[in-house]
A and B are shown apart, each in its own frame.
Chain A
Amino acid sequence: MASLDMNRLMDNARIKLPGALDGTLQLELVNVLNDFFAGSNIWKEDLPFQVTPTPETYLEDPAAWTYTIVPSQGQINRVLGVVTSKGLPVPVGMSIPGEIVLARQPSEADTYTAQVALVLGDQMTKEGYPAFPEWILSKYYNDLLDGLLGNMMGQLAKPYSNPNLAQYHLKKFRSAVSQAKVEAQHENVYRGQSWRFPQNFVRRRFRQY
């Protein structure tokens, strides 16, 4: 059974969008959620992975420099940072989501942790809703509803088409995405700082290869 918040979201959308089909609402909800997650980085996961040093250069053996990470839910959109087991930041690249390429070889075998931002994957609930953490829907309920209404009202030639209202709702949604991005950076701490101790590690700049 869908969560209380999800049922409430759908009921609100059904009332505000007369003539809309549930299948279309669910389809549009996926678009809204992906916009929200991709724009805000609010859905994060820490993924540990084992690294081992190699004498080969990247061009000689790219696979030895590449580590595949798989999230428990959703799919990886971008990597927010990688740290060693001692918490030191490590420069990496991720041209293909899920495949981390180290910029420098580790001096010894270690367990690195990658913090990644996720978007929706193929997992669906049995009611046909996309699977994602419930707290996000709970916290950003009104904002996601704005996104859903805006996307639906922006559709062409439907009983619920309304370009003016679509603009109004999407403006509110875009503003919510920006706010969620800031909240994600500050880990939901009011006036919190976007870095973690020790600060000088975060300020370091590494040249990417």
Chain B
Amino acid sequence: MALDTVQDYVDRVRVLLQDQVAPYRYPTADLVEALSEGILETRRLRPDLLQNYFRSNLPDFSTANMNQAVPIDPQYRMAFVYYICGMTQLRDDENVQDSRAALFMNKFISQMLTITA
């Protein structure tokens, strides 16, 4: 899976969340929203990843266009998968352990900022 489009990210995240059978535990809209928030967080941590958007609005995603391309360098696409998982796991849910949410969020940050992540 190349992680090119919004749909690719949602599919990949559902594997990690073990939420691949409809009706889904985590709504698609929430996952897509987390992807958009990941872009905002990336603008803060690694502005170079979004240097094409310095003079325009940052990309925003919605369920209306699941085939929209996510303009992230291939080296950092997995970090976004971890970010979406982390944001999803942060919610108060009986299926979720806090440590798992922290693990995903830390994985996202360390992949953005260090080599050995």
- Hey, which bits of chain A sit against chain B, CB under 8 A? 18-19, 21, 23-24, 27, 157-160
Give Cα A27 to B75, complex, Å.
Answer: 19
Is chain B's interface secondary structure helix, strand, loop, or mixed overall? Answer: helix
Tell me the minimal C-beta distance from A51 to chain B in angstroms: 43
Q: Is B114 an interface residue (CB 8 A)?
A: yes
Chain B interface residue count, Cβ-Cβ cutoff 8 angstroms: 13
Task: Verify A160–B51 contact, CB threshold 8 A.
Answer: no
Partner of B45, one of A18, A27, A157: A157
| Bound: A18/B51 CA distance, A | 18
Contact present for B115 and A23 (CB under 8 Å)? no
Taking beta carbons and an 8 Å cutoff, which residues of B are in contact with A? 45-46, 48-49, 51-52, 73, 75-76, 112-115
A30 CB to closest chain B CB (Å) equals: 13
Q: Are B46 and A158 in contact (CB under 8 A)?
A: yes
Cα–Cα, bound, A71→B115 (Å)? 44
Chain A nearest CB: distance from B106 CB in Å? 15
A23 touches B51 (CB 8 A): yes
A126 to B103 CA separation, bound complex (whole angstroms): 43
A18 to B73, CA, bound (A): 13
A159 to B79, CA, bound (A): 13
